[in-house]
Amino acid sequence: MEARNTIRKRYYFVTGILFLLALGLLLLPHRKNVKELSPEDLLVSISTSDRFYSPENVARLIISGDPSIQLIDVRTAEEFAAYSLPKAINIPLANILDKDKKGNYVWQDVLNQDIKTNIIYSNGTVYANQAWMLISRMNFKNNYVLKGGLNAFFENIIKAKAPLASAPQSEIDLYSFRKAVAMYFGGGGSISTATTDAKSGDGTPVVKKKKEAKSGGGC
Amino acid sequence: MEKLQEPKKYMNPYLAGFLLGLTMIAAFYFSGRGLGASGAIKSSVTAIVSAVAPEHANNSEFYSSYKGEGSSPLNSWLVFEMIGFIFGALISGYIGGRIKKDIVKPPKVKVNTRMIMALIGGIVAGIGATLGRGCTSGAGLTGMSNLSVAGFISFMAMFGGAFMFSFFLRKYWINR
Amino acid sequence: MGPLIQQGIINPEWNSIIAFVIGISFGFILEQAGFSTARKIVGVFYGYDMTVLRVFLTAVVTASIGLLYFNYLGWIDLDLIYINPTFIWSAIVGGVLVGLGMIVGGYCPGTSFAAAAIGKIDGIVFIGGLFIGVFFYGETYNWLFKDLHEAGNLGAITMYNLLGISSGALEFFFILFAILLFWMTIVITKKFSNKLLKY
């Protein structure tokens, strides 16, 4: 009888510990794991040039109003306010990894998604590339870079030089396309487009996307 | 015949369970996967079939899904784990003094009957484990440890099913 | 940190050695707990020996608590571990078949290996049956089992995803349920041990 009581006491003890552990789990928040790309994988994706979108492609997508693309402007807010591509979202490079109080990335909902294709741009390619690298490291999907940045966009498209009359048909077609784009952007060859306040389209100012309530409580 | 008294006492079930849980955590911590048993049988059967009739194995949707790319189907985590399993059981049996050629059966049941029952049980469990994507350890134990829905369903189906059928087999196992 | 192989902290070549060592531990524990005899396994269903259920539940509770705490401490990334995909119909039918095989043959696949390792002939015969069963399944897969095997795919979901609660909350209720079962096993064994249902 004595031994039996000790065993029973032990069971109560273990039951108590189990209950405490369970209570602990109930009270602890679920930790979110952010998967980072390993350096090797990152190197592979850097060395392929798949991440680039040519200015022509971007222009075509903008004009056709393709809803599946999302332009991300990583220049500073001032530069963004001065000029931006239509419907671009401004996420200055310095703020791209900002976290909210809960430790979630503020821009995660914009940058990490399956639905839209993000095209990152800055004035040149360098800052956009840096931004791309940072978010690729976070293993966020569907992010691309505008090749040559805004400069190339204007050099190639808005200020497109007319080809010689003897140029092949494809080149002339390309030129007429570029001309059409330039018309769309209202540039028409004027040099000052990039720096004047003439905003084209509806370049939305800094509007932070509200973090949507996640459905379900999982990870 | 089963001996009446066991050579050494078995481990306390709660202690054994606790250690088994730690092993499970170790498997997840190192290899990112849980324990299993029937997966090794699937790999072995695939290996045998591929060795005997390679073309047949390649044409079959089932066998080709268990074949590793390029490597032998035996070169899988679960196969190595089960080889270790047999060693571990041997060590434990040796320590406990339980290694002995023996047949576990209810006292009044004939040896042949027991053998046929074991074979039928094995066949049914083999089909079930393949269909249900794992056996008691692979689907039940591992599945419940990582709180997957599959684990809970499998556990309930396995133990519920066995409990259901135990009623019809009570004359076989328990003859008073 | 973990899982170490997936995170590239340990060379994948070590994986088979780790598997072997973990297998030793697994086999050792199952044999030590007495899973190497059909008597213990069948005992659960006739109420005279609850060892299997106790070991099973304790292992599940330990592992699931451990994994959640490891995840909280950042030692293991639960998103990287393998979650069994849920195919609801094949899980139910397959599970019932495993249960039937367990009560007919007296073993389940894992325990039959433990039994065979210490020389139980019926365990070896059971393993033979397993091989035949899997072979039969493989041969008839295309025209007999395929539809059932692929039916009701819910993906690799967890209970807390399904119920839409946090993993901690689910674990809490699960542990409460497990504690209840543990105490029930004690009551059941007490009740049935008087009835001489043992063999």
Q: Quick one: pLDDT at residue B144? A: 92
A166 or B12, greater pLDDT = B12
Q: Quick one: pLDDT at residue C196? A: 53
H or E element: which one contains C154?
strand C153-155
Q: Which CATH code is given to the segment(s) A39-194? A: 3.40.250.10
H or E element: which one contains C159?
helix C159-163
Is C175 within 8 Å of A217 when comparing Cβ atoms? no
Show which of residues 36-65 on chain A sit within 8 Å of chain C, judged by CB atoms. 38
Residue in C with minimal Cα distance to B144: C60
pLDDT-derived band at B176 (thresholds 50, 70, 90) equals low
H or E element: which one contains A117?
strand A117-121
pLDDT-derived band at C97 (thresholds 50, 70, 90) equals very high
Task: Name residues whose C-beta falls within 8 Å of residue C168's C-beta, 6 or more positions apart in sequence.
Answer: A25, A26, A27, A28, A29, A30, C68
Region C50-70: mean pLDDT is 91
Nearest to B77 among C15, C32, C90 (CB): C15
pLDDT-derived band at C15 (thresholds 50, 70, 90) equals confident
Is C77 within 8 Å of A216 when comparing Cβ atoms? no
Q: Quick one: pLDDT at residue A133? A: 80
pLDDT-derived band at A207 (thresholds 50, 70, 90) equals very low
Q: Pull the structure tokens for residue C40.
A: 């213990």
Contact B17, C62 (CB under 8 A): yes
Distance of CA C80 to the CA centre of its chain: 20
**CB proximity A28 to C under 8 Å:** yes
Q: Quick one: pLDDT at residue C155? A: 81
Is C166 within 8 Å of A22 when comparing Cβ atoms? no
Nearest to B88 among C25, C44, C95 (CB): C25
d(CA A98, CA A209): 13
H or E element: which one contains C65?
helix C51-73
Q: Quick one: pLDDT at residue A88? A: 83
Chain B residues near residue C185 by CB distance under 8 angstroms: none
A162 or B109, greater pLDDT = B109
Chain C residues near residue B153 by CB distance under 8 angstroms: 86, 88, 91-92, 95
Query: B2, B101, B127, B172: which to substitute to probe chain C, counting the most C Cβ within 10 Å?
Result: B127
Is C178 within 8 Å of A18 when comparing Cβ atoms? yes
**CB proximity B171 to C under 8 Å:** no
pLDDT-derived band at A201 (thresholds 50, 70, 90) equals very low
Is C182 within 8 Å of A15 when comparing Cβ atoms? yes
Over chain B, what is the mean pLDDT? 86
**CB proximity C198 to B under 8 Å:** yes
**Burial, A54: exposed, middle or buried (Cβ in 10 Å; 0-12, 13-18, 19+)?**
middle
- How do the domains of chain C map onto residue ranges? 1-79+184-199, 84-157
**CB proximity C11 to B under 8 Å:** no
Region A77-83: mean pLDDT is 82
Q: Quick one: pLDDT at residue A35? A: 59
- How do the domains of chain B map onto residue ranges? 1-102, 106-176
**Chains that contact C by 3+ CB pairs under 8 Å?**
A, B
HSE at residue A129, side-chain half, CA atoms within 13 A, is: 14
pLDDT-derived band at B118 (thresholds 50, 70, 90) equals very high
Q: How far is B116 from chain C (nearest CA, A)?
A: 8
ipTM of the complex: 0.91
B2 or A1, greater pLDDT = A1
Region C145-160: mean pLDDT is 84
Distance of CA A117 to the CA centre of its chain: 8
What percentage of residues in chain C have a pLDDT greater than 70? 95
**Radius of gyration over every alpha carbon of chain C, rounded to an integer in angstroms:** 19
With 50 as the cut, is the pLDDT of residue A190 above it?
A: no
Q: How far is A117 from chain C (nearest CA, A)?
A: 24
**CB proximity B16 to C under 8 Å:** yes
Contact B6, B98 (CB under 8 A): yes
Lowest-confidence region among A129-133, B85-89, C94-98, C168-172: A129-133
Total CB pairs under 8 A between chain B and C: 532
Q: Pull the structure tokens for residue C125.
A: 């015969």
3-state DSSP percent of chain A in helix, strand and coil, to 5: 45, 10, 45
Secondary structure class of C82 (helix, strand, coil): coil
C104 or B171, greater pLDDT = C104
Task: Name residues whose C-beta falls within 8 Å of residue A29's C-beta, 6 or more positions apart in sequence.
Answer: C166, C168
Task: Name residues whose C-beta falls within 8 Å of residue A193's C-beta, 6 or more positions apart in sequence.
Answer: A83, A154, A158, A185, A186, A187
Region A124-145: mean pLDDT is 80
Lowest-confidence region among A10-19, A154-163, B144-153, C133-142: A154-163
Distance of CA A147 to the CA centre of its chain: 15
Secondary structure class of A168 (helix, strand, coil): coil
B66 or A70, greater pLDDT = A70
**CB proximity C165 to B under 8 Å:** no
With 80 as the cut, is the pLDDT of residue B168 above it?
A: yes
Contact C74, B49 (CB under 8 A): no
**CB proximity A15 to C under 8 Å:** yes
H or E element: which one contains A146?
strand A143-146
Question: DSSP letters along C6-24, please?
Answer: TTTSS-GGGHHHHHHHHHH
Nearest to A216 among C69, C71, C164 (CB): C164
Region C93-104: mean pLDDT is 94
Task: Name residues whose C-beta falls within 8 Å of residue B156's C-beta, 6 or more positions apart in sequence.
Answer: C95
pLDDT, tens digit (0-9, with 9 covering 90-100), for C162-174? 888 888 888 899 9
d(CA B24, CA B142): 7
A205 or C155, greater pLDDT = C155
- How do the domains of chain A map onto residue ranges? 39-194
pLDDT-derived band at C50 (thresholds 50, 70, 90) equals confident
Query: C79, C100, C158, C159: which to substitute to probe chain B, counting the most B Cβ within 10 Å?
Result: C100
For residue A112, the tally of other CB atoms under 10 A from its CB is 17
Nearest to B166 among C23, C51, C103 (CB): C103
Nearest to C61 among A18, A24, A219 (CB): A18
Chain A residues near residue C71 by CB distance under 8 angstroms: 31, 33
Q: What is the DSSP letter of A209?
A: P
Chain B residues near residue C108 by CB distance under 8 angstroms: 37, 125, 135-137, 158
Chain A residues near residue C179 by CB distance under 8 angstroms: 15, 18-19
With 50 as the cut, is the pLDDT of residue A25 above it?
A: yes
pLDDT, tens digit (0-9, with 9 covering 90-100), for B49-89? 888 888 888 888 888 777 655 567 788 889 999 999 999 99
**CB proximity A6 to C under 8 Å:** no
Over chain A, what is the mean pLDDT? 71
